[in-house]
Structure formats: C-alpha cells, structure tokens
Structure 1
Amino acid sequence: MKMYVISDNIDTQTGMRLAGVEGVVVHEHDETVEALHRAIADGDIAIILITEKLAKLVSREMDALKLTYERPLMVEIPDRHGTGRTPDSITKYVREAIGLKI
C-alpha cells in the first residue's frame, strides 16, 4: 500500500517525493477531479494526501467520493504557506474526539 499526494504547488510535491510519496501538481478544478479519480482507480494507493486549497476547490466531489468508496483514505494537508485552520485545531479535535486535553 502506498500514499499519493495531490498538490497545488511544486514545493509540497517535491517535499513529499523526498519522503518517497509520489504525486501530481494540479491547479484547476477539472485537473484535480481527474487526479482524484486516477488515484482512486489505482488499487495500490491506500492514502491520498491533498492540499487544503485543492480540497476546498473540489469539496463536493471529495464528499461524494468519500461516501462512495471505502478506500483510499483522503487526508487534507497544509501546503508550504501553512494552514487555514486555527492554531489549536488538532488539539481541539483530539479533545472533542477522545476527551483528552493535550
């Protein structure tokens, strides 16, 4: 099983390649949807990493794909410019999910 990154900038994709994760750089809505479908069709891909900017661009399509397919897992990641989330979003998520304050 492998991971695959769909990024909107070359820096994120290059960093992931250095870690052994293949991927693609796209910028437009249709390119992103096509990249998602190609990744889903590849039976070896277990996790799709997609930058937050692109995930917002194709949010409806991602929601439909998540409901349709059990695999792969789709994970939104920040790009080199950071994240649009609040600074404590991960700790807040953990606190709400398991009741543990970290």
Structure 2
Amino acid sequence: MYKCMVVTDPETAPGFRMAGVEVIELETPDEAEKLVIKLLHRDDTGVIAMNEDFIEKLDHRIMERIERSYRPIIIPIPSAKKQSDRENYIDRLLRRAIGYNIVVRR
C-alpha cells in the first residue's frame, strides 16, 4: 500500500500530524532536494504534499523526472508566507494537472 506524506516547515507540520499524516519537517527549502531524491526511490511513497517554497527550489532535472513519473504524485501546499489568492492557486493546479486553464464565468 502506498503512503501519503507531507513535507513542510515546522510551523505547519503539527496541523498535518493532527490529521494523521506522516510528516517530514524541513527547516530550509535547500534540504528538500536531497529528501525528494530519497522519496522517489522508495517503493511505498504514493502521494507527497510538499510546501510550495520547497518545490520551487528543486532542480529542473528533478522536476522533469517528477513530471514524467506516475508515482509518487507531488502536490504543492500553498506557502503561508505568500499571500496568493485561492483562485490563482486552483488555476495553477488545474493547469499543471490537465494542461489547460479552465475559466468558469458566473
């Protein structure tokens, strides 16, 4: 069975632990690259929810490998430090997932 885990900063980690998810805390985004390489080689990793700041620091070759692989799926968690609105965040997720920007008009 595949695991779902969260890679985030110490400020947001307790909330995810309360939800019962395995959490890996990183102090700086620079630590993320070494960790992601290890997680990509694990057989039990299915979904990784990762702090958006950490994903942005990953090398482009690692990101290309993640994009090509079917497992694990890496989902960005919006950074608390960035004040982006929800609609932009959802637009970016949809564009990444399906390759389109869907606009819903009311």
Give the TM-score normalised by the residue count of structure 1. Answer: 0.72
* Whole-angstrom distance in 2 between the partners of 1:28 and 1:92: 24
- Does the aligned pair in 2 maintain the 1:33–1:61 contact within 8 Å? no
1:51 is matched with 51
Q: Deviations over 1:11-34 (max 9, x none)?
A: 2222111111112122142x2111
Query: Residues of 2 paired with 1:65 and 1:84: CA distance?
Result: 29
Q: Which deviates more from structure 2 when the two are superposed, residues 67-76 or residues 84-93? A: 84-93
Alignment of 1:81-100 (within 5 A): 81=80, 83-90=82-89, 92=91, 96-97=101-102, 100=104
AA of the residue aligned to 1:54: F
Structure 1 segment 33-72 matched on structure 2, within 5 A? 33-58=33-58, 60-72=60-72
Secondary structure (helix, strand or coil) at the match of 1:46 reads: strand
Percent identity over paired residues = 17
Contact kept? 1:55, 1:62, Cα under 8 Å: no
- Any unmatched runs of 5+ in structure 2? 95-99
Instruction: Give the superposed CA RMSD.
Output: 2.7
What is the CA distance between 1:65 and its match in structure 2? 2.3
**TM alignment of 1:1-80, pairs within 5 A:** 1-7=2-8, 9-26=9-26, 27-29=28-30, 31-58=31-58, 60-79=60-79
How big is the shift at 1:75?
Answer: 0.7
**Alignment deviations for residues 20-65 of structure 1 (CA, whole Å, 9 cap, x no partner):** 1112122142x21111122222222211111111111115244222
Name the aligned partner's letter for residue 65 of structure 2: L
Residues in 1 aligned to 2:101 and 2:76: alpha-carbon distance in whole angstroms: 19
Equivalent residues of 1:3, 1:21 under 8 A apart: yes
Asked if the contact 1:4/1:39 (under 8 Å) is kept, the reply is no
